[in-house]
Amino acid sequence: MGQEPTPREMGYYVALAQTGVEMVLPAVGGYFLDEWLDTKPWFTVIAAVLGFVLGFVHLLTILKQKERDESIDKKPP
């Protein structure tokens, strides 16, 4: 079998999974809000776009942090 991931790697995996949830959950909330207020499809569309944009910004932040961490780890002492 392969090598166990380090705690830092596990943190990245959890953050990536969280980003996926951040992208989907607003659309689901918008759908239920539309059902409740009978405003289909406005809240679903607005929440889906907002969730996608904010999730993408979070994903870019995670990737920048990972790149920064890897560059620090590779610097010679």
**Would the CA dihedral through 51, 53, 59, 61 be positive or negative?**
negative
Task: Look at residue 45 in the predicted model and tell me its pLDDT.
Answer: 97
CA dist., res. 22 & res. 56, Å (int): 9
Q: What is the pLDDT of residues 48-75, one digit of tens each?
A: 999 999 999 999 999 999 999 888 877 6
The answer to whether the peptide bond before residue 7 is cis (omega within 30 degrees of 0) is no
Q: Does the predicted model carry a pTM greater than 0.75?
A: yes
Average pLDDT over residues 19-33: 96
Burial class (CB in 10 A: 0-12, 13-18, 19+), 17: exposed
